[in-house]
Amino acid sequence: MPRLSHTFDLAPVDHGVVVRSVAAAHAVARACGFDGRGWLITPDEATVGRWEERADRLGLVDRAVARSNRERRRAAAERLREGVEDPAEAEELAVEASTTALQLQSGHHLEPRSHYLVSELSPGGVPVEPVYERQGWTSTGLTVTSWDPEGTSALEFAMPDRVGGGAPPVTSGTAAHDAAAGTLAMTVEVRLPGRGAWLRSARGSLTIDTAAWYAALAGRTGPAPVRLTAAHALADIEADLSPAPREDGRWDVTATLRARGRGPLARPLVALAFWAVRGSYRREQRRAREGAEGVTVTSPREQLDRGARAWDRMARGAEEIPDLLHDVARGMAEAARRGA
């Protein structure tokens, strides 16, 4: 079975911080309120900006990117107000000017079988229905199947939303968090429309076991704490993350990817693909070392190291994340009271 692996040197995060952050995230969800049409009530821009500034300082978001996105939305909205004759351009601008919103469509907030819609809203507050909706990449439906912050909280999702019937969703799946066990499990199934359904379908799963993660750091052996699988008509893919402690207190986290072709024809094709990826990786590293003067080439290893540095930035401020989330919960609750 072809195999790729890479080991990251990462800053540690205390297990208690993870547990408190999850509990605070539940508090944020509970604090959400919805208006008479079911749309989520959000605080004013000043409050959101304060949260964004703290999140940027803690390495959770990039405030410069968020600011740039807002400026693009405003520019697109202004162009739409001025009038655009080309339908294709108008469609692109409508998507660019939209904002993501959450609507409670049925049931009571966080109760089993309550149903939500994640949609894109125009500057005027009207749901946007872009052309690519026909391919199913919009209007995600969320249905709560259980909600217990001390036990299991789970939901189902479908994209596009098909709670009212119609064609099967293009993408669907489940997500479940078991607070007692410290696990998060997700499944997803993709069925792209068009000919050759067997080639356009795939399924996958992701399991994150935080208890097993910290047990591994304490020296206990067992299955990899983070496991990902994907299945397609041509290949099966497995990936996992496993941590080990370093003498300096940091973590060595090894990421491993394996693939196996299905059938006598697919197996050599998958092996060839992995060989090509390895060759490309080495060529990019060589280009980065031998780059011409004035030409910047970022090697794959540098890109991985950049991701590790982003993790370290977040890990340094991890102790403050639960407090930020509780602040968000208080702000959401206050906005809900004002909007009631």
Split the chain (340 residues) into runs of 10 and give each run's mean pLDDT.
84 96 97 94 93 93 85 85 80 79 95 92 71 58 95 93 72 95 95 76 95 95 94 89 95 91 62 57 58 52 80 94 97 90
- Give the pLDDT score at 89: 78
- Give the pLDDT score at 217: 96
- Give the pLDDT score at 87: 80
- State the Cα–Cα distance between residues 155 and 178, nearest whole angstrom: 12
The pTM (predicted TM-score) of the whole model is 0.83
List alpha helices for the chain, DSSP H.
15-31, 45-57, 63-82, 87-97, 210-217, 263-289, 300-316, 321-339
> Are the CB atoms for 170 and 192 separated by under 8 Å?
yes
From residue 189, alpha-carbon distances to 115, 132, 231 in Å are: 20, 19, 10
DSSP 91-104: HHHHHHH-EEEEEE
For residue 157, give the 3-state DSSP assignment.
strand
- Give the pLDDT score at 271: 60
Residues 6+ away with beta carbon under 8 Å from 129: 138, 139
